[in-house]
Amino acid sequence: MNASNTNQHDVPLKALSEAFIAKVKAKELRVGIVGLGYVGLPLAEAFVRRELPVLGFDIDQSKVDMLSGGKSYIKHISDDRIASMNSSGKFSSTTDFTELEKVDAILICVPTPLGTHREPDLSYVIATTEKIAQHVQPGQLIILESTTYPGTSEEILQPILESGGLKAGVDFAIAYSPEREDPGNPNFDTSTIPKVVGASSAPEREMASSLYNSIVPTVPVSNLRTAEAVKLTENIFRAVNIALVNELKVVFGAMDIDVWEVIEAAKTKPFGFMPFYPGPGLGGHCIPIDPFYLTWKARAYGLNTRFIELAGEINSSMPGHVVDRLGEAMNEKLGLAMKGAKILVVGLAYKKNVDDMRESPALELIAKLRARGMEVEYYDPYIPVAPSTREHPEVEGMRSVSWTEAALKAFDVALIATDHDDVDYAPLLSSIDLIVDTRNAIKERSDQIVRA
């Protein structure tokens, strides 16, 4: 669906667009959301709260069963919220993709990870789109929310969706609106974060904007590729700036300067500075992954993304830096070697106050600590039992230890990898002689605490 065809497509789509928008205004439009995870489930809730009926789709029957029973499988989304969605009469979920034929809009919210060589893995998007293609109906709007490289909607989605004979921009509409979820953020949620909307024609853009305007303000952009580029830009900005402060952490540490104190002072400047904070590496479903989608696509144009790749190198080196710093501190302060020592990793989630382990640097830390011969256990109140992960299956089945002085005294050293707000560090301070803090979780300064 090229921009050059926009005018040609406007006429047949105009009537479809007007009918679609009328349904939204009358709260009669039925929304289908494919993928009921950290993005899809909050999105479904936002539409239900605005009294638009939602049918959720997922390939995991256990998720559908839990939702039907009023139970949540995401820590920061309570059972009460799911029960409220059910009692509204506006929400249901299914694994039956033939039901796609009964919705007016289909929102795709599935993962887009990286492959083994940091290439885009669109297998979830492609498999989902192939399922949708079997059930596309005239007048439907199909929106991809998954983060991806510019050109995905036109080059991947559109040909698959058109395989049944209907034409995008004529018989049905395509748009792209990148998810902007920040799980566990108390200040922003799906209903307060503006939605970027891109499409190849004005009617398609108006359809998507009208849908999202029912829950949140929208930011229309000129085409699909621009919208796809917006999300990458947002996360590349974060990745590069986090790499900068991670590098400063290493440099200032060598100079016996506390980078956290530096940042706290610098952010008092009311202009020209935005605080970013160092850590043990990058985690989550976006920042460690999204920049490399653009890096991969840029190669097709004969271009190198040097800033992005340098940032990736710095951030990827942080787990190794932390482990080296921990080894030095154990030797200097405890007279202990790493091999055979017992360590408690505090926090398994990739960020505080969530139960999400995707790309968590804690997993890489555990692997490196074990490689140095350490006996590793973890504590995380949000993750009582570690599930399996694609890159670190060895953590599956590990159980969070008890947060008592008696249990904590069994460890030689603790490593804080995630700074959950509801963790009381007093038992840790009274039980373990050396604590390596990668998140500035413990604000007091003493010889017992080492920043890394």
Query: For residue 4, what pLDDT band results from cuts at 50, 70 and 90?
Result: very low
Our answer to whether residue 109 is catalytic in this structure is: no
Domain boundaries in the chain? Answer: 3-222, 239-451
Report residue 227 CA to chain centroid gap: 18
The answer to whether the 3-222 and 239-451 domains have the same CATH topology is yes
pLDDT score, position 10:
52
Is 3 a residue whose pLDDT tops 80?
no
Query: Is domain 3-222 in CATH 3.30.70.120, yes or no?
Result: no
Stretch among 11-15, 24-28, 86-90, 390-394 having the lowest mean pLDDT: 11-15
Q: What percent of the chain has pLDDT over 90?
A: 87
H-type alpha helices, 98-223: 123-133, 152, 158-161, 202-213
pLDDT score, position 283:
83
Q: pTM score, two decimals?
A: 0.89
What average pLDDT score do residues 428-448 get? 95
The architecture CATH gives domain 239-451: 3-Layer(aba) Sandwich (3.40)
Residues 76, 82, 83, 87: is their CA dihedral positive or negative? positive
Query: For residue 389, what pLDDT band results from cuts at 50, 70 and 90?
Result: confident
Helix (H) / strand (E) containing 149:
none
Of 286, 323, 365, 366, the catalytic one is 286
Q: What does the alpha-carbon distance between residue 98 and residue 387 come to, in Å, rounded to a whole number? A: 31
